[in-house]
Amino acid sequence: MSASLSLFDRIWSEHEIRHSESGESLLWVDRHYLHEGSFHAFDQLTSRGLSVAEPGLTVGITDHYVPTVRDGSVALDPQIMEMVDRLEINAKRHGIPVIGLTDSRQGIVHVVGPEQGLTHPGSVVVCGDSHTSTHGALGAIGFGIGASEVAHVLATQTIWLAKPRTLLLQFDGRMASGVTAKDVALHWISALGADGARGFAIEYSGSAIRELSMEARLTLCNMSIEGGARCGLISPDQVTIESLRGRPSIPKGTDFDRASRHWLGLASTEVSCFDQRYVFQAADIQPTVTWGVSPEEALPILARLPDPIDAENPGKASQIADSLEYMGLTPGQKLTDIAIDKVFIGSCTNSRLSDLRDAAAILKGQKSKVPGFVSPGSKWVKSAAEAEGLHEIFLSAGLQWREPGCSMCVGMNGDLLLSGERCASTTNRNFKGRQGRGSRTHLMSPAMAAAAAVAGHLVDVRSFSEARL
């Protein structure tokens, strides 16, 4: 294999079984994750009399529909619980391992997979969820698939896919204090647009990326899809190796050493491998929040909202005007003048232990001016956070401490905003109605969300932190 291939090309070549005349490739799938929405695929198998080809390579995880209040204080919606139960029934019927609601490992699929060591560098990973790009942080090709594709993978352990072009997003230098992986993601998406990476597989590189922790890398790759990319990856390095060491489903001893050498050997080595490349200076990135109804509609926190009359063309002017109207905002308004009604900290983007630590550091000794809640990414994260006393900080601040699940990110489990409510959210999408009909969502990092909760409005976490010193 050529030494000049990118990480994406190397993995693709190792997994390509056949290349069709139409230009698509049949790829072997190493890991298939299922959630409650997979019932359509199981119904297809049943109707066609098919079985699951490789049940040991598939894992079912309950997350999208699970309620985050499970202490008996709230009546559970029977339709929602039916969806949760249905996954466990389907998985067990076909011999598929399942991490169900009562399992001590339960959580959001894109948190649990890496946490349990189920995703390995150099693998092809699929799930019926667009944010499967998260797993690329470990040096894997991860992408979301539709219901019919889920059925195809279940029946064959393969998938047909047209090979994307490759895009290198290089971040040089050091990020300033208060800037996180979430800000990096919103920065490049706002610069290139929601379709800026359409048709590409992104690889993130540069000195700023190499300094990111694995949890931060997972956040960055998670957001790749919001810029239109098919997937996002980061070449394996020592951060990758150390993050995997000792995980339950990772090889041990000499097997781990052997696997590590292979994983490190997959890394991209030359920028010439890529079809396209953009270079960003990490020092230019500031704490960033969204103001509109797409992740591309984001600005540094100290900026003012755009005015349609300044737009480059009529189409853009109409888009800005529509977003401002839906969000109940005015042209030229300061982002820091936007009051919020609620705060949500969670989702597959920002619900890991380091995210909760960041939020707790801001909330310690403070009171939230708005209601809200924190939903950890998994039971493992929840236990670790409670061992550190982070939950007590959230509770003392006036926020609720919930159980793991997708929660308010998807709005299909009972966790919703009321129409017109404005939320400082650590999720990945701010589409119209995403968190409930008429909801208004501002995406930001956990520290920024925590600061907004204390201030009661969007605020620069840097000045907020300085004021407390």
Domains of the chain with CATH codes: 7-162 (3.30.499.10), 288-468 (3.30.499.10)
DSSP 8-class letter at 163: P
Sheet hosting strand 158-162, strand order edge to edge: 16-19, 24-28, 158-162
| Band (454; pLDDT cuts 50, 70, 90) | very high
| pLDDT tens by residue, 230-276 | 999 999 999 999 999 999 999 999 999 999 999 999 999 889 999 99
CA distance 464 to 361: 12
Q: Would you state the structure tokens that stand for residue 164, as one six-digit string?
A: 């994307």
DSSP secondary structure, 412-449, as one string: -SS--PPTT-EEEE-SS---TTTTSTT-EEEE--HHHH
| Strand ordering across the sheet containing 342-345 | 400-401, 372-374, 342-345, 422-425, 440-443
pLDDT tens digits, 175-216: 999 999 999 999 999 999 999 999 999 999 999 999 999 999
- Within 116-159, residue ranges assigned H as helices are 147-156
Residue 392 to residue 231: CA distance in whole angstroms: 37
Residue range 23-54, pLDDT digits in tens: 999 999 999 999 999 999 999 999 999 999 99
The reported pTM is 0.96
Query: Where does the pLDDT of residue 467 fall: very low under 50, low under 70, confident under 90, or very high at 90 and above?
Result: low
The answer to whether the CB of 173 falls within 8 A of the CB of 207 is yes
Q: Across the chain, what does the average pLDDT equal? A: 96
97-112: pLDDT as tens digits: 999 999 999 999 999 9
**Crossing angle of helices 379-387 and 390-397, rounded to 10°:** 90
pLDDT (tens digit, 9 = 90+) per residue, 329-353? 999 999 999 999 999 999 999 999 9
Give the pLDDT mean for 285-300.
Answer: 98
Cβ–Cβ < 8 Å for 171, 184: yes
Give 469's pLDDT tier (boundaries 50, 70, 90).
very low
Q: Which two tokens stand for residue 356?
A: 């909760």
Residue 414 phi/psi, 5-degree rounding, is: 100, -15
